[in-house]
Amino acid sequence: MGEAPLPSEHLLVIFNQEIPLHVKEWAQKRFSDIELTLYQSTRGVKTPPELYHNATILVTFIDLPEPEDSFNLKIIHTLSAGVDHLLNNPIFKYSEIPFTTSSGIHGPPIAEWTIMNWLVSARKYSILHEAQKEHKWDKETPWMETSYDQVGQKVGILGYGSIGRQIARVSQALGMTVYAYTASPRPTAESRHDNGFIVPGTGDPEGTIPVSWHHGTGKEAIHEFLSLGLDHLVVSVPLTEQTTNLLGAEEFALLAKHSTNPAKKPYVTNISRGKVINQDDLIEALKSGQLGGAALDVTNPEPLPSDHPLWSAPNVQITPHISGSGREYIPRSLEIVRINIDRTRQGLPLINAYRRGNGY
């Protein structure tokens, strides 16, 4: 008797943390029709090159093979939404292997992180939490004057991708008005559709939530958007050469100048990359009162040094690039791989395919 034929695909998943048991069990069931290898890498230690040799699909965050070890690879899927950390890798620069991203999986947790920070600031939760720790019934703070809700506030979402769309969905539920900004024009209903991976029941698949759409890559277009009288600016753009230091002193001044809320200065939320914002200018805008506050899940650099002045800027909330984290992260990312395996078998194009040269 001859040997049984090998599965047509070999999925290799490399992660630099321990993969939870519930994820392993889920993956083994979800990919029961193909060969599956789950491997935990170690930061700073090169993954054994022979591990890549039989893989046809690679799922990874930072571990990539040398071009000579990738001879069977058909798809490389990154566990992140952005690929800026991979741009200089030889296999990215010199091969034609398709890359797909995890864009679309981050919307629910990052939207919750965003709204959480808005409400923590608006409802003065930090004061209340400190009072609770001290067993203090704080009725002395002028809550009627210092607290506010989100109804009627204007939210400008700079980068209306999957994350921005879920933030828009939750914002609308709170009674807020949403304005969308994209690099390229979206003049028709069809052009406003989200064609990437969508967590069921989330986002804005048809692009109907914003009251207006804006676009452009130059300063003039950005400045026009920032002059809408926004209460919140959400930064959700990919890091590219064009978006590096996209927002600085001039842009923060425009936000403040056109604010129509006498009791609240504009609030900036950055869940993109730290380098999109000129951090020194942000600190000055917070100190001067041009901005009412900021929520930052990303900084420049990361990790942020303990003596960095950003930590002490007024009304700033900083987290260590974890807004998208959660138990659902890896299964949702692998679900994109499952979809693409099935689409490949049907001769259909990949979803979430990274377009080399575009930066996203």
SS (H, E, C) the chain: CCCCCCCCCEEEEEECCCCCHHHHHHHHHHCCCCEEEEEECCCCCCCCHHHHCCCCEEEECCCCCCHHHCCCCCEEEECCCCCCCCCCCHHHHHCCCCEECCCCCCHHHHHHHHHHHHHHHHCCHHHHHHHHHCCCCCCCCCHHHHCCCCCCCEEEEECCCHHHHHHHHHHHHCCCEEEEEECCCCCCCHHHCCCCCCCCCCCCCCCCCCCEEEECCCHHHHHHHHCCCCCEEEECCCCCCCCCCCECHHHHHHHHHCCCCCCCCCEEEECCCHHHECHHHHHHHHHHCCCCEEEECCCCCCCCCCCCHHHHCCCEEECCCCCCCCCCHHHHHHHHHHHHHHHHHCCCCCCCECCCCCCC
* 353 within domain boundaries: no
The average pLDDT across 24-35 equals 97
| Amino acid, single-letter form, for residue 319 | T
CA distance 221 to 206: 24
Rounded mean pLDDT, 157-173:
97
Residue 358 lies in a domain: no
359 in any annotated domain: no
In a domain, 4, yes or no: no
Does residue 355 form part of some domain? Answer: no
Give per-residue pLDDT as tens, 255-266: 999 998 888 999
Q: What is the pLDDT of residues 185-240, one digit of tens each?
A: 999 999 999 999 999 999 999 999 999 999 999 999 999 999 999 999 999 998 88
Confidence band (pLDDT; 50, 70, 90) for 10? Answer: very high
pLDDT at 2: 44
**pLDDT reading at 1 higher than 90:** no
Question: Is the predicted pLDDT of residue 300 greater than 80, yes or no?
Answer: yes
- Tell me, yes or no, whether 87 and 140 share the same domain: no
- Please say whether the beta carbons of 111 and 167 come within 8 A: yes
- Dist CA 292 CA 301 (whole Å): 23
Q: Tell me, yes or no, whether 72 and 197 share the same domain.
A: no
Residue whose entry in the numeric block shows the structure tokens 């566990």: 79
Tell me whether residue 313 is in a domain: yes
Q: Which pLDDT tens digit goes with each residue over 65-99?
A: 999 999 999 999 999 988 888 888 999 988 999 99
Interval 136-165 mean pLDDT: 96
- Asked whether residue 303 carries a pLDDT value surpassing 60, the answer given is yes
The residue type found at 47 is: T
Residues 119 and 257 reside in one and the same domain: yes
Please indicate, yes or no, whether residues 244 and 221 belong to a single structural domain of this protein.
yes
Q: What is the mean pLDDT of residues 23-45?
A: 95
Provide the number of structural domains found in the chain.
Answer: 2
State whether 266 and 191 are in the same domain.
Answer: yes
Q: Can you give the CATH number for the domain in which 231 is found?
A: 3.40.50.720
pLDDT for residue 357 is more than 80: no
Instruction: Provide the pLDDT for residue 230.
Output: 98
Residue 113 domain boundaries:
107-318
Q: Is residue 33 part of a domain?
A: yes
**pLDDT for the residue numbered 131:** 97
Residue 308 confidence (pLDDT) above 60: yes
End-to-end CA distance of the chain: 50
The CA-based dihedral angle spanning residues 297, 310, 304, 301, taken in that order and rounded to the nearest 10 degrees: 80
pTM: 0.91
The predicted structure's pLDDT at residue 7 = 53
When the pLDDT of each residue in the chain is averaged and rounded to a whole number, the result is: 94
pLDDT value at position 8? 81
| Residue 205 contacts residue 163 (beta carbons within 8 Å) | no
Percent of the chain with pLDDT over 90: 90
Whether residue 323 is contained in a domain is answered as no
158 φ, ψ to 5°? -90, 95
Query: 358 pLDDT exceeds 80?
Result: no
Asked whether residue 201 falls in the same domain as residue 300, the answer is: yes
| pLDDT grade for 355, boundaries at 50, 70 and 90 | confident
